[in-house]
Copies of this chain bind each other. A is one copy, B any other.
Amino acid sequence: MTGATEGISEIITAALLVIGDEILSGRTKDKNIGYTAEYLTALGIDLKEVRVVPDEQPEIVAALNALRARYTYVFTTGGIGPTHDDITAEAVAKAFGVPFDYNPQAVEILRTRLAQTGGVMNEARMRMTRMPVGAELVLNKISAAPGFRIENVIVMAGIPQVMQAMLDYVAPQLKTGAKMLSETVQANCREGDIGTELGEIAKANPQVIIGSYPFIDERGANAHVVMRSRDREKLADVKVAVQAMLDRVHAGLLARQKA
């Protein structure tokens, strides 16, 4: 059995669970999905799914349990602050079926920070130190409220600066796979002009994932062809094939214009 996987990197997957009414109402525009997607791709972790759920315990618990069973890692953002609507930590404890209590190390960090900044310790701030028992802290240099990790779930803040600092803290602890390599070519024609031939290239090269992403600019409809693979040679071959195909299509369009 081990022989079959020798030399093949394990594929490491992840999901992101964004928690917050403010994202669903449109009041706050999420910045964490795009950042995390790019960050994990660069690490060699495949982000396979994102969900956004409201600040409601049953929703958080259900989504978390569905995702943590399925992916190597689940990252969450939002809902770990000091106010009544910050219910992520308790929901995570519930999802794992473990007790929820003050984390002594988190309390110490908070006390130290408050002594430095002149803030007062109170019930609201103490909320931020409550975590599933057994969780390890995910520190950050910006806020005194740590995130935490329990098994394959990493719980982070919603504020982008803090979330990004937490990702930096936790990244060295994560298993990573072979990086997905990527090449992009701009079509300089309409997607509909290349779809058939591009599909044939995709079919002939199953180890390269080919995507076509249309966009509209002042010159009209255009597309980016993105090729992704963990195999550098196959990726280079496909890029050559796509460029040759685009040259043929451009020549055909030009001939048609002249006719």
Interface residues of A (CB under 8 A from B): 18, 21-30, 33-41, 46-55, 59, 81-86, 118-120, 122-125, 127-128, 142-143, 158-159, 161-162, 180, 182, 184, 190-196, 198-199, 202-203, 209-216, 221, 223, 226, 228, 256-257
Contact = CB atoms under 8 A, between A and B. Distances in A.
B47 A195 contact: no
Summarize A's interface: helix, strand, loop or mixed.
mixed
Nearest to A209: B21
Contacts of A25: 37-38, 41, 47, 180, 182, 228
A226 B159 CA distance: 16
Given A49-B51, A190-B119, A83 B198 contact: yes
B196 A21 contact: no
Contacts of A210: 84-85
Given A26-B38, A49-B51, A83-B198, 12 more contacts: A23-B50, A24-B46, A25-B37, A25-B180, A25-B182, A49-B53, A50-B51, A55-B211, A81-B195, A83-B199, A119-B190, A119-B192
A200 B187 CA distance: 58
A182 B52 contact: no
A182 B27 contact: yes
B199 A84 contact: yes
13 contacts: A26-B41, A30-B34, A33-B52, A81-B191, A81-B214, A83-B194, A83-B195, A83-B199, A83-B223, A85-B211, A119-B193, A120-B193, A162-B216
A33 to B, nearest CB: 6
A33 B33 CA distance: 11
A50 B52 contact: yes
Contact of A194 (B40, B124, B223): B124
Contact of A33 (B23, B49, B184, B199): B23
